[in-house]
């Protein structure tokens, strides 16, 4: 199987409610995701897909929904949550609400659902995503067939 990999990066803040250390406080990351794609056959240029398609589709979604915003668990009890959401709205940036604490594992799982939906119309299958939350900490999602 041949795959192509496109790296996408963005900045966002989050916190992990009930975390036993520093991550229970609001903080930011320079996230990076490596999107691994395959297709049943290569295109007329010999590619799985043009890297620009991944950037436009998935990167565009990230720019709109995750870049320079907060990824927040629905129902986060921190009193600052409402203020952060209101401040972001006033600056034209949404808060992205997620069902679970926004750990690297939860964020990569969310990204997998989104990337698969966005790239499927292009005949591309997302088979793996590695999400870097820090330079030395990552989580990975792998497709099951």
The residues, any chain, with a CB within 8 Å of residue 10's CB and separated by 6 or more, are 30, 31, 62, 63, 66, 67, 68
User: Could you tell me if 109 and 125 are in contact, meaning their C-beta atoms sit under 8 angstroms apart?
Assistant: no
* Selected catalytic residue, list 57, 110, 125, 133: 133
| Strands 137-142 and 69-73, sheet pairing | unpaired
Annotation marks residue 133 as catalytic: yes
Annotation marks residue 36 as catalytic: no
Annotation marks residue 23 as catalytic: yes
* Selected catalytic residue, list 23, 34, 65, 122: 23
The residues, any chain, with a CB within 8 Å of residue 56's CB and separated by 6 or more, are none
* Selected catalytic residue, list 9, 19, 27, 68: 68
Residues annotated as catalytic (active site), given as ranges: 23, 68, 133
């Amino acid at each position: 199987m041949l795959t192509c990999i496109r790296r996408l990066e963005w900045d966002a803040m989050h916190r992990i409610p009930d975390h036993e250390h520093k991550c229970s406080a609001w903080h930011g990351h320079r996230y990076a995701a490596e999107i691994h794609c395959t297709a049943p056959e290569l295109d007329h240029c010999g590619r799985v897909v043009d890297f620009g398609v991944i950037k436009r589709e998935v990167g565009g979604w990230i720019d709109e929904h995750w870049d320079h915003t907060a990824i927040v668990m629905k129902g986060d009890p921190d009193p600052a949550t409402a203020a952060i959401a209101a401040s972001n709205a006033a600056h034209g940036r949404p808060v992205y609400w997620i069902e679970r604490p926004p750990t690297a594992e939860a964020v990569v799982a969310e990204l997998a659902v989104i990337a698969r939906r966005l790239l499927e119309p292009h005949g591309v299958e997302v088979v793996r995503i590695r999400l870097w939350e820090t330079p030395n900490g990552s989580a990975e999602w792998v497709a099951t067939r």
